């Protein structure tokens, strides 16, 4: 290759890395080579870090739609791994995606050096419907640099492509309601097989994820095929107490097929992916939420033989240390987009609360209790606090309590109270859903972060990042600012509260917890 061509290739590699990992220096980029089970890949190296993007861990799923993943075909020569692979088919910012979506990404400080670093395997959020592993906030460089770890992010099938249950219509598709989860298991198997190549320890894998990512982790903890593939779990505002029942899942499949005019599964297989994506907007039959069809894991087939965290914690993962976290003001992320929710009165609050708390409690009783607990709250503050407590936080409490009952002392709780007061909208959004992502990754300067980069934000990010790294090394998140963190137990319910300075509290928001525990918790999609 002549000098001009070498220069052009180096420049193009620098641009590819800058695009796939914003903020990465576009100078000093070199090629980095690794060998996978299916062939050699060429990633990028800058300084001490090796970055590989778009590594195949499975075949194009369009050839076996709604069925378990298949192994990728081997290739000759070296395959480029400098750019992210396609996301799963979906609408929104990560769409339209492709059915050829089984890709993962690796950032590591070393290759084939025998150092056996902890491996951090991140599962993205977006419920079970949207998202990908290529968001700039998931950049693993800070974790690798500060913790000498390997960071993996992953794409897998979502929505109907990953969770449409067709088992009652055609026995060939008995596992169709969980193939998105089976993709994740295939990715974890790939990680175990290739750990040494990327400088990692196959015996020390931490799965961590936010929102839908946390829910997928909770589900993996009850899936027999996932046993032994990971050794620690850290979930952030993401729970899955129960899975969809087979009747409910089959009902949703029928609604989608009716919307598509598909009489049988074979007809469904012939429909273009883009048309399937359009049909995802079909209204869900749930009486709780007026939303599009719910898709998530299904209690059916061999893949998921029990509910993830009901009636107890799964015995297969009881010995796995687990962190279960949430943010104080979760629903401000998605109910804060309506200006009317910030102008509520005591007269207008009950109707709003009835529609959005997602449990069948008299809103007047709820309001009276909040006014007793927090007499300084405005109607809008009651609304956001009550919807947070009545919706996502309840699943975290359920998981924490069933884990604590076995007395192993290996479950840890956190609550993020801190929020940036020096950022536009900070006071309005407060500690909203997803705020902890850039703090745990320490990607507060990346595009999409809403933490700001003040000294206070950096301190909170450092404490959360270091707790995750300590947990990945030992299964214990106590280090530096979090040395006082105690495991969650009953009845104390010890919780690390991340404010400007981390501090332990027993049963934070205990009055709210008791209020909503008057009624059973029902995971969305169960019925």
Percent of the chain past pLDDT 90, that is, above it, reads: 90
Residue 126 has pLDDT above 80, yes or no: yes
DSSP assignment of 464-511 equals HHHHHHHHHHHS---SGGGTT-----TTT-EEEEESSSEEEEESTTHH
The residue-averaged pLDDT of 21-28 equals: 51
Q: Cα–Cα distances in Å, from 367 out to 159, 244, 336?
A: 36, 31, 19
Report all structural domains of the chain as residue ranges with CATH numbers, in order of start: 31-236 (3.40.50.1820), 323-516 (3.40.50.1820)
The residue-averaged pLDDT of 255-262 equals: 96
Q: Cα–Cα distances in Å, from 501 out to 34, 372, 422, 454?
A: 42, 28, 17, 14
Residue 218 has pLDDT above 80, yes or no: yes
Query: Which structure tokens are listed for 148?
Result: 């000498």
Would you state the pLDDT for residue 5? 36
A 10 A CB-CB count for 351 gives 11
Question: For residue 12, what pLDDT band results from cuts at 50, 70 and 90?
Answer: very low
Question: For residue 132, what pLDDT band results from cuts at 50, 70 and 90?
Answer: very high
The residue-averaged pLDDT of 346-372 equals: 96
The residue-averaged pLDDT of 91-102 equals: 96
The residue-averaged pLDDT of 486-496 equals: 98
For residue 359, the cross-strand partners are none
The residue-averaged pLDDT of 292-306 equals: 95
Pairing outcome for strands 49-56 and 39-46: antiparallel
Question: Residues for the chain: how many in total?
Answer: 527
Question: For residue 527, what pLDDT band results from cuts at 50, 70 and 90?
Answer: confident
Q: Which residue has the higher pLDDT, 281 or 26?
A: 281
Running DSSP on this structure, what letter comes out for residue 170? Answer: -
Pairing outcome for strands 150-154 and 39-46: unpaired
The residue-averaged pLDDT of 366-386 equals: 98
Residue 38 has pLDDT above 80, yes or no: yes
Summarize pLDDT for 141-180 with one digit per residue, the tens: 999 999 999 999 999 999 999 999 999 999 999 999 999 9
Helix (H) or strand (E) holding 206: strand 200-210
Question: For residue 3, what pLDDT band results from cuts at 50, 70 and 90?
Answer: very low
Would you state the pLDDT for residue 28? 65
Q: Give 341's contacts (C-beta < 8 A, 6+ positions apart).
A: 335, 352, 380, 383, 384
What's the pTM value of the predicted model, to 2 decimals? Answer: 0.95
A 10 A CB-CB count for 27 gives 8
Question: For residue 1, what pLDDT band results from cuts at 50, 70 and 90?
Answer: very low
Would you state the pLDDT for residue 46? 85
Q: How far is the C-alpha of 313 from the C-alpha of 317, rounded, in Å?
A: 8
Would you state the pLDDT for residue 525? 82
Residue 449 has pLDDT above 60, yes or no: yes
Would you state the pLDDT for residue 378? 98
Question: For residue 8, what pLDDT band results from cuts at 50, 70 and 90?
Answer: very low
Sign of the torsion angle spanned by Cα atoms 161, 163, 167, 171: positive
Please report where in the chains the tokens 């979090």 appear, as a residue. 482
Q: Give 163's contacts (C-beta < 8 A, 6+ positions apart).
A: 128, 177, 178, 179, 180, 295, 296, 297, 298
């Amino acid at each position: 290759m002549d000098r001009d061509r070498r220069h052009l290739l180096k420049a193009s590699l620098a641009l590819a890395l800058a695009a796939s990992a914003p903020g990465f220096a576009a100078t000093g980029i070199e090629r980095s080579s690794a060998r996978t089970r299916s062939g050699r890949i060429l990633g990028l190296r800058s300084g001490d870090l090796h970055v590989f993007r778009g590594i195949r861990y499975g075949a194009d799923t369009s050839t076996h739609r709604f069925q378990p993943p298949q192994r990728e075909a081997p290739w000759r020569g070296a395959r480029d791994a400098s750019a992210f692979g396609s996301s799963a088919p979906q609408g929104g910012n990560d769409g339209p995606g492709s059915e050829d979506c089984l890709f993962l990404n690796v950032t590591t400080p070393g290759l084939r050096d025998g150092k056996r670093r902890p491996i951090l395997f991140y599962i993205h959020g977006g419920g079970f419907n949207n998202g990908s592993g290529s968001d700039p906030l998931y950049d693993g460089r800070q974790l690798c640099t500060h913790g000498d770890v390997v960071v993996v992010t992953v794409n897998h099938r979502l929505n109907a492509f990953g969770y449409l249950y067709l088992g009652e219509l055609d026995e060939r598709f008995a596992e169709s309601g969980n193939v998105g989860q089976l993709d994740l298991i295939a990715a974890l198997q790939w990680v175990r097989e290739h750990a040494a190549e990327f400088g990692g320890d196959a015996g020390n894998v931490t799965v961590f994820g936010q929102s839908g990512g946390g829910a997928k982790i909770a589900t993996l903890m009850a899936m027999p095929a996932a046993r032994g593939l990971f050794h620690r779990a850290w979930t952030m505002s993401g729970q899955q107490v129960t899975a969809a029942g087979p009747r409910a899942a089959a009902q949703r499949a029928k609604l989608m097929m009716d919307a598509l005019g598909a009489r049988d599964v074979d007809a469904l297989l012939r429909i273009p992916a883009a048309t399937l994506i359009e049909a995802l907007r079909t209204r869900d039959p749930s009486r709780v939420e007026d939303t599009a069809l719910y898709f998530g894991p299904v209690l059916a087939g061999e893949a998921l033989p029990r509910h993830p965290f009901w009636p107890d914690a799964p015995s297969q993962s009881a010995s796995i240390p687990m962190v279960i976290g949430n943010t104080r003001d979760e629903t401000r992320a998605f109910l804060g987009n309506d200006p009317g929710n910030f102008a509520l009165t005591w007269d207008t609050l009950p109707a709003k609360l009835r529609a959005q708390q997602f449990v069948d409690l008299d809103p007047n009783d709820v309001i009276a209790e909040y006014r007793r607990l927090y007499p300084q709250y405005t109607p809008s503050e009651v609304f956001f606090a009550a919807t947070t407590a009545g919706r996502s936080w309840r699943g975290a409490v359920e998981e924490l309590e069933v884990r604590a009952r076995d007395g192993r002392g290996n479950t840890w709780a956190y609550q993020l109270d801190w929020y940036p007061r020096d950022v536009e909208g900070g006071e309005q959004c407060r500690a909203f859903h997803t705020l902890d992502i850039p703090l745990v990754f320490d990607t507060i300067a990346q595009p999409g972060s809403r933490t700001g980069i003040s000294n206070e934000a950096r301190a909170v990010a450092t404490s959360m990042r270091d707790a995750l790294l300590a947990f990945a090394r030992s299964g214990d998140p106590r280090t530096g600012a979090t040395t006082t963190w105690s495991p969650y137990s009953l009845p104390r319910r010890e919780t690390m509260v991340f404010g400007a300075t981390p501090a332990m509290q027993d049963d934070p928001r205990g009055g709210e917890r008791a209020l909503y525990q008057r009624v059973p918790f029902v995971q969305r999609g169960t019925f």
